[in-house]
Amino acid sequence: MMPARGGKTKRGSLMVSNVSRRLMGGSAVLAVSMMLAAVPAYAQDQQEAASDASVAAETSGESDIVVTGTRIRSPGLTSTSPVSALGGEQIKLQRAVTIEDFTAKVPQLAGGVNATSVGSDAFGAQTLDLRNLGQNRTLVLVNGTRALPFSFRNAVDVNTIPAALLDRVDVLTGGAAAVYGADAVAGVVNFITKRNYEGITANASYRAVSSGGSQASAHLMAGANLGDRGNILGYVEYTDRNALLAGKRNFARKGVATLPIGGNYTDVASGRKFSYDANGQFTLTPQTTDYTPEFLLVQPLQRINADLFFNYELTDGIEAYGRVMYAKVKTKGGTRSGQNPITTGAAGINVQIRQDNPYLDAQARSMLTFVNGVATVNVQKSLGELGTTYAANERNNIQGQIGLRGDLTPAIRWDAYYQYGRSKEEITVKNDGLKSAFAGLANATDIFGPGGDYSPLVRDFDYGDRTRIQQVASAYLSGDSSDFFNGWAGPWGFTAGYEYRHEKGKFDYGADLGLSFNQGAESSPVVDPFISVHELFGELIVPVIKDVPLIQKLTVEGAYRQSWYTRSFGVKQDYATHKLGVNWTVSDDLRLRGTRQTVIRDPNLGEFANPIFSIPFANLRTVARLFPRYAGDPCVGATNQATISQCTAMGYKGAYDSDNPANLKGQYYFGGNPTIHAEKGKTWTAGGVLTPRFLPGFMLSVDWYKINIKDAVGQIQPVDAISSCYVTDPRADNPLCQAITRDPATGYLLHAYVDDRNLASIKQEGIDIEARYGFDVPFGLPGKRWNFGYVGSIVTDYSIRRNAVLEPVDCKGSYGARCSSDLVTLVAPDYRHRATFTWDSEPLTAQIGWTRIGSVKDSTVGSTAKIPAYNYFDLNFSLRPTPLQGLELGFGVDNLFNKKPPLPKNAGAYNTYPDTYDVLGTTFGVSITYKH
């Protein structure tokens, strides 16, 4: 066996301690009465609350501990940074299959990309977004080391992490760049997997959703000890989620109509116009068709996960460890240009119709002008007979890690590891076709009205292959000074190490997309982008005072990281980040803590290396998920003199329907920007943890945080650029006026330019509250224990400043694209909580949960619209039949009262905001687990 401090073994060094597990069983009864007057509780395990939930304290019989937020391993260590821990028992109680199943209920986590993000370039991924600050600013770890990002972004598809494999999830809010490196601007989400698992567990689960969106899953997990020297754990899972169409939800059925399936026709020679309706009836009234009911509201998903974790003592002083994580995810979603079927475009297509065309009826023939037996006809129609277009995506992720660790001295450990990961996507656009082939069908099929045979022009288009490779190598020492000196108040804890990281992308976008009806041309990057980083890092924890009145223990903590970046185009930068922290244990009842940290985030591969792409500006009125990016031309109907003057100066010529896609004939340009530089920031936290001895089982933590980000990388969307240029700051030198142009002939809005750039700043400030209370069931009632819990997130200030010369926009408690930092999560409430009450009565555990999303106001300039606070309730049961050892049955209901999503003014996709509000309705879930 490996020698360890105090003669104890180090096996299980990454496991959660009994103390921290007991934390998850607490409650918020007292916190409710003191602060929020009737708020029940947050998720917790079924054991007694005993201490701060941020501490992964030592497992019984083991002395090595892991605390998210530091790499230092030392007995009795606690975190200076606020960490909220969600235990595996709670994840299992919620029958979670995907990470989205439970992270959607964590107050600090905003929506991110999820199953409803149909049409997003994430194509079926699920990403995490801490505090609405952007998925690119949330660092995701697996067992304390980097998870594998996908595509051109630095976000992680957490669909590749099986929920059933988790022992706990730590959410650290506030920057952690000095400890973990870049991307930890908003914080860290650390997924801790099971370790030293013995036995075989089989599980099957099913979630029933009305009319679509149901999900089935099965997994098998097996673990065994390798003598007394190690352990190996294997896991395999299959998950299948079916599609939910918008037509199956009344709130989502109505969208923006596009060109009609019957068609609108213009005789070019005479200008005479005529149409056919959806039933094939001739009419002189222009037609439209709304295909929204056929759109995907929830994407179908097929997922295979296969994982292997191991640790083995090679000698008495050296342990090998590692993991292999594989995931194959297949999804079907909207393309970047939306889900509408093939359309001929707002300008239509001119075709030559022969006079002997057999499909011409008398009414249409009378409208056409034939010259030498041929009439030129402009056709504006959609080919709904082919069905909606969609993107089929297959993503294969694999990450392997191998490491060695051991004792340098009884109090100092060394650790070295290497990990390699590759994410590869193959995306194919289905049900689109060759635009050039349409004219050839003009006399070969019935293009007048619905029902024509357009199959000859249909083909698949290669949207592209996107490969992301990540390599990480690190070596460090960690421990304390007890082998050499104890200091005046105890041994000093430290970490010192080196890390190398190389990220590389290969993005081959389909060269033939420009030949299609709907997709628009794309171009691959000129060179394969890469980022290479060398880093030296260190941490030091110094006990300053011990065992004096009012100070049981006082420690100060520092961390420093020096980073040298090299990226494509010969760009080289070096950055330094640092952290200062204080941990003051007043007594066993009270601990106070605080940190100040600097954070640096270098632009990711897509932000600096993607070429400029474009889609038609009209898509901002025809593609539901793009609606929040454009709210019309404020020059139309303007009454303010300053706005009128600015409109005239910018080329506006007169009123028009600025919401009609036919009048938006320009392009919407977006992509990377090689000139952008790193964003920098500072974060502060201060708070405390109360565990009064006079109230066993109670824990309360309150933490204030403040995050300031300068030179934040983002985009300026048309809705923001237009309102700033013409309404809030109508002056000639407003730089946001350059983000959108007008047609010099008509004065209509024309092109939008939203490539990545360095904005001015993003600031957020708030308070996190967590409380737990667990006690034996009173009054002689049945059962063993009651557990109450509460976790709340209160935002007291949130602003985004798009440019240094402009005033910041107040985004606290808002919704809409104007206040989204990355156009993914569009709702930013200033209050959220998750609360639970759990009744543990062997063999039955029952829990009711309450998730509240605070009210939000429309961020669109001039709007007074609001979305009221939303409350969702869920009910979960877990039954462990006594006669059947190892068997566990689960049952639950989410959205217990079938709360419908809001339908606000200036809504996002499907007339609501699916990134935040539930679109499934009441769902029922069952699971059966057998462990042997």
Band the pLDDT of 755: cuts 50, 70, 90: confident
Question: pLDDT tens, 780-800?
Answer: 888 899 999 999 999 999 999
pLDDT the model gives residue 74: 63
- Model pLDDT, residue 787: 95
In percent, the amount of the chain with pLDDT more than 90 equals 61
pLDDT at 26: 33
Question: Using 50, 70 and 90 to split pLDDT, how confident is the model at 521?
Answer: low
CA distance 765 to 870: 22
Nearest of 544, 752, 753 to residue 664 by alpha carbon: 752
- Give the domain extent around 895: 26-44+198-246+299-336+392-608+677-717+756-931
Count Cβ atoms within 10 A of the Cβ of residue 347 and give its class: 0-12 exposed, 13-18 middle, 19 or more buried: exposed
Closest CA to 316 of 3, 690, 716, 550: 3
**Would you place residue 313 in the very low, low, confident or very high pLDDT band (cuts 50, 70, 90)?**
very high
pLDDT-based confidence at residue 200 (cuts at 50, 70, 90): very high
Q: Which of 640-654, 815-829, 904-918 has the lowest mean pLDDT?
A: 815-829
**In-domain check, residue 884:** yes
Per-residue pLDDT tens for 416-443?
Answer: 999 999 999 999 999 999 999 999 999 9
| Strand blocks (E) in 517-622 | 530-548, 551-567, 571-585, 590-601, 613-616
The structural domain count of the chain equals: 1
Per-residue pLDDT at 720: 85
Q: Which residue has the higher pLDDT, 464 or 618?
A: 618
- For the residues 79-98, what does the mean pLDDT come to? 83
pLDDT digits (tens, 9 = 90+) for 478-498: 999 999 998 889 999 999 999
Residue with the larger pLDDT of the pair 97 and 224: 224
* Phi, psi for 120 (deg, rounded to 5): -70, 150
Average pLDDT of every residue of the chain:
87
Q: Is residue 737 part of a domain?
A: no
Is position 168 within any domain? no
Closest CA to 867 of 834, 906, 835, 898: 906
- Judge whether 555 and 544 are in contact, CB under 8 Å: yes
In the prediction, which pLDDT does 287 show? 96
Residue environment code for 623-652, b if the CB has 16+ CB neighbours within 10 A, otherwise e: bbbbbbbbbbbbbbebeeeebeebbeebbb
User: Two tokens at 313?
Assistant: 């003592």
Task: Please report, for the domain that includes residue 811, its CATH number.
Answer: 2.40.170.20
| Length of the chain in terms of residues written | 932
The stretch 130-153 carries a mean pLDDT of 89
Indicate whether 165 belongs to any domain: no
> Could you report how far apart the first and last alpha carbons of the chain are, in Å?
27
Say yes or no to pLDDT of 232 above 50: yes
For the chain, give the percent of residues with pLDDT over 70: 92
pLDDT band at 182 (very low <50, low <70, confident <90, very high): confident
Asked whether residue 650 is domain-assigned, the answer is no
> In this predicted structure, what is the pLDDT of residue 76?
61
pLDDT at 455: 92
Number of C-beta neighbours around residue 308 at 10 A: 15
Pair of tokens at residue 474? 């690190």
881's tokens: 């039949």
| Domain-located, residue 682 | yes
Question: Is the model's pLDDT at 35 over the cut of 50?
Answer: no
| Amino acid identity at 549 | P
Which DSSP letter does residue 609 get? H
Q: Which of 815, 791, 638, 797 is nearest to 719 (CA)?
A: 815
Mean pLDDT of 43-57: 35
Position 411, amino acid: A
- 3-state SS of 726-737 is HHHCCCCCCHHH
How confident is the model at residue 608, as a pLDDT? 85
Nearest to 330 by CA among 296, 295, 300, 306: 300
Whether the predicted pLDDT of 58 surpasses 70 = no
Instruction: Evaluate if residue 55 carries a pLDDT over 60.
Output: no
Looking at the predicted structure, is the pLDDT value of residue 289 above 60?
A: yes
The 8-class DSSP code of residue 261 comes to S
Q: Which of 175-184, 696-705, 725-734 has the lowest mean pLDDT?
A: 175-184
Model-level pTM greater than 0.85? yes
pLDDT of residue 296: 94
Give tens-digit pLDDT for 343-354: 998 889 999 999
In a domain, 99, yes or no: no
Question: Above 90 in pLDDT, residue 53?
Answer: no
| Residue 75's pLDDT band (cuts 50, 70, 90) | low
Residue 30 lies in a domain: yes
Whether residue 292 has pLDDT greater than 80: yes
- Angstrom CA distances, 504 to 423, 565, 705, stand at 11, 13, 34
E strand residue ranges, 119-257: 129-130, 138-142, 145-146, 166-173, 187-193, 199-209, 215-225, 230-241, 244-245
| Gap between the Cα atoms of 224 and 362, Å rounded | 80
pLDDT at position 77, please?
A: 64
